[in-house]
Chains A and B, each alone.
Chain A
Amino acid sequence: MSGAYLRLESLGLVEGGHTIVREINLELGAARTLILGPNGAGKSTLLRLIHGLLRPSVGALRWAKPLRQAMVFQRPVMLRTTVLKNVLYGLSLAGVTGDEGEQRARRALERVGLAHLDHRPARVLSGGEQQRVALARAWALEPQLLFLDEPTASLDPASSREVERIIGEFAQAGTRILMTTHNLGQARRLADEIVYLDGGRVLEQSPAAEFFRQPREARAAAFIRGDLP
């Protein structure tokens, strides 16, 4: 695949004698790549290895060029301060302060539809609103690659739709998306490409349309049909 931004070579992680993921060989280049697989497949671990939160035991990550990254987690982590200051905090760590920081934070909050809540304490917002603050915090950093780890897993359908809309806006703005989910509908709506992970290994990497029409791997097919225990 040409135009890959990242190549993973024999990536593996062993923790406390347990192999979490192994022999991951991937080229990532699609605008929106979704990592699918059952619970415990190693989806979140793979995301953390790529983002640098975990260090691989073996193998290597080869970046075409360094990318500005941000990550949104399943459960948003909000500081005990206002919504605006939560966004400003991320910016200040990236070295963006003063008027520019303020402008970028406010634009990001408008993007996620929370500009009117800028002075509310972040931790007392609803789960959906907190996740949108987390997305705004990521948006303000203008990432070239955005990681999302099950971002809607603890949200109601309305909030999930809103989060999916914002993810779509990231992609439109040119941010590459690398996201885990176990929600097949969501994967159909968002993915350009699917990476199917099972038992810590990549079983299949296909364009999304192809994957859902006719997966090459029997276990992936069973996963789509909902056959797996």
Chain B
Amino acid sequence: MNDLSTSLGLAASLIAGADAKLYDIVALSLRVSLSATLIACVVGMPIGAWLAVGRFTGRRVLIVLFNGMMGLPPVAVGLLIYLLLSRAGPLGPLGLLFTPAAMVIAQSVLVAPIVAALTRQVIADAWTEYREQLRSLGASRTRAAATLLWDGRFSLTTAGLAGFGRAIAEVGAVMIVGGNIDGVTRVMTTTIALETSKGDLPLALALGFVLISLVLAINAAAYLLRGWAARRWG
């Protein structure tokens, strides 16, 4: 118990004192996970809209596949990307393994299906409401998908947010492809795992606090945005 209170005190002073090491780790985490979420949204949202609005064979199979891929185990994705990026792998010559870029790639792969599946849900609901009107106005399916993506922009923050939550919180994928190298690829989750196993609780605790606070703050911001949008735009 004494240990815990000492650790808590040290953790607080790390945060309050703007400890350089702590903030580097937090900054890298944000940089990697926000980049991955951005890429996942750019790729996943159009795919989701296309799954909702499109008519093609295999659509149902793809929907089931994307829904299933929402639960991809991060370590499995990490391993896959590791194999692709390792020296002997097809993308080995790029020399990306154990860099932040590799971590962004792994998290993008992890998060894109989540964004796509949630986007499909949102757009499919809107499509039921808008379908006849859009077709009456002569909108092609591609145009309709684009319109619905724009129209659902506030609801879709939820999809982006779920993706970001997944990215910032996962350990397995970044651990494998990043290697948890001090000062290079060490992010919040991998540091927490490492420091805890070493018994260095203050840094782990401090990072844990920052991680939870970040996730809460971003969710709160998105909640406020959606509330504002509902009042403003209906």
Asked if chains A and B come from one complex, the reply is yes
- Give A203 to B80 CA distance when docked, in angstroms: 67
CA distance A78 to B97 in the complex (A): 49
- Among residues of A, the one whose C-beta sits closest to the C-beta of B136 is A71
Residues on A with C-beta less than 8 A from B233 are 80-81, 121, 123-124
Interface residues of A toward B: which range? 20 to 34
Chain B residues engaging chain A, CB cutoff 8 angstroms: 129-130, 132-139, 143, 147, 151, 153-154, 229, 231-234
Any B CB within 8 A of the CB of A70: yes
Residue of A nearest to B152 (CB): A80
| Bound form: Cα–Cα A226–B39 in Å | 61
Q: Is the CB of B234 within 8 A of A73?
A: no
A119 to B39, CA, bound (A): 34
Q: A121-B233, A123-B233, A124-B233 are in contact. Are A73 and B133 (CB under 8 A)?
A: yes
Q: Which of A88-96, A98-106, A176-184, A206-214 contacts B (4 or more CB under 8 A)?
A: A88-96
| Chain B residues near A123 (CB-CB < 8 A) | 233-234
CB of A73 within 8 A of CB of B232, answer no
Q: How far is the CA of A89 from the CA of B134 in the complex (A)?
A: 10
List 5 A–B pairs whose Cβ atoms lie within 8 Å, in order of A's numbering.
Answer: A71-B136, A77-B130, A79-B151, A93-B139, A137-B137
User: Taking A70-B136, A124-B233 as contacts, is the C-beta distance between A80 and B129 under 8 angstroms?
Assistant: no
Residues of A within 8 A of B147 (CB): 79, 89
A79 to B150, CA, bound (A): 9
Contact A90 B232 (CB under 8 A): no
> Is A7 close to B, CB under 8 A?
no
Majority SS of interface residues in chain B?
Answer: helix
Known contacts A53-B135, A53-B136, A77-B134; 7 additional CB pairs below 8 A are A48-B132, A51-B136, A71-B136, A77-B132, A81-B151, A124-B233, A137-B137
Contact at A93–B151, with CB atoms within 8 Å?
no
Do B234 and A93 touch across chains, with their CB atoms under 8 A apart?
no
Q: Which B residues touch A78, using CB under 8 A?
A: 234
Bound form: Cα–Cα A229–B135 in Å: 35
Q: Distance in Å from the Cβ of A59 to the closest Cβ of chain B?
A: 21
A157 to B92, CA, bound (A): 72
CB distance from A190 to the nearest CB of B (A): 21
Complex Cα gap A73–B129 (Å): 11
* Chain B residues near A94 (CB-CB < 8 A): 137-138
Q: Most chain-B Cβ atoms within 10 A of its Cβ — which of A122, A124, A137?
A: A124
Chain A residue contacts of B229, Cβ below 8 A: 80
Q: Provide the residues of chain A in CB contact with B130, threshold 8 Å.
A: 77
Tell me which residues across on chain B come within 8 A of A137, comparing CB atoms: 137
Is there contact, CB below 8 Å, between B137 and A124? Answer: no
Bound Cα distance A52, B67 (Å): 34
Q: CB-CB contacts of A35-78 with B at 8 A, as 1s and 0s?
A: 00000000000001001010000000000000001110100011
Question: Does B133 contact A77, Cβ atoms closer than 8 Å?
Answer: yes
- The complex places the Cα of A84 from the Cα of B158 at a distance, in Å, of 28
Tell whether, in the assembled complex, residue A93 and residue B132 are in contact, meaning their CB atoms are under 8 Å apart.
no
Check B234–A124 contact: CB distance below 8 A.
yes
| B138 touching A93, Cβ below 8 Å | yes
Q: Which residues of A contact B234 (CB under 8 A)?
A: 78, 80, 121-124
A73 touches B137 (CB 8 A): no
A80 CA to B135 CA, complexed, in Å: 18
**Cα-based distance from A205 to B232 in the complex (angstroms):** 47
Chain B residues in 8 Å Cβ range of A70 = 136-137
- Bound-state CA distance A195–B95 (Å) is 74
A81 / chain B contacts, CB cutoff of 8 Å: 151, 233
List the B side residues contacting A89 at CB < 8 Å. 137, 147
Distance between Cα atoms of A73 and B135 in the complex (Å): 12
Query: Which 3 pairs from chain A and chain B are nearest by CB?
Result: A123-B234, A77-B133, A80-B233
CB distance from A22 to the nearest CB of B (A): 22
